[in-house]
Copies of this chain bind each other. A is one copy, B any other.
């Protein structure tokens, strides 16, 4: 290799490096899914991914980077599934609520993983801004697409208002998620709160 490689993004590095990165993220997801944030221990990740601790830190400069990158990959993997089909529902509210209910249920189905990823997301500082921005864009895309429904056209920029609405919904969703993963709200309360907010913003 002729240039120093940050290894931070998907498509860089040799095949062996891409495979190491994949193994590391696999191990991260597996450990998070089994025991949550605390179970994602750097030594354990390194061992399970079959890389040295120093190598792990070469790929991901902190536990937070690691978890947020894992979150981004999860979004990539499942976002593609959600992406194609039209969102059911006759109004923006119905469509957004449908999508969020699906997403929330998915996350609640793996509480430990959600706890790990959410905590990392909330603790991330400026050095993780790039990864966070990726997740934010994915969320915004998902929501603006749901708002437009059939009127959505591939590649078209969403309106400023739709983006603003999406950001508000994202904020509410994130707050609700934090309440839930920290045990301060039940799944039902989260669902109810989100639906109230969506109908409020999209009336």
Q: Give chain A's interface residues, CB within 8 Å of chain B.
A: 119, 122-126, 129, 132, 161, 164-165, 167-168, 170-172, 174-176, 178, 182-184, 193, 196-197, 200-201
Contacts and interface: CB of A to CB of B under 8 A. Distances in A.
A168 B119 contact: no
Given A171-B175, A200-B164, A123 B122 contact: yes
B183 A172 contact: no
Determine chain A's interface SS by DSSP, over half rule.
helix
Given A168-B172, A171-B197, 11 more contacts: A123-B123, A124-B182, A126-B183, A129-B184, A164-B200, A165-B200, A167-B197, A171-B171, A171-B176, A172-B172, A174-B175
A119 to B, nearest CB: 7
Contacts of A172: 168, 171-172
A179 B176 CA distance: 16
Contacts of A183: 125-126, 129
Contacts of A168: 168, 172, 197, 200-201
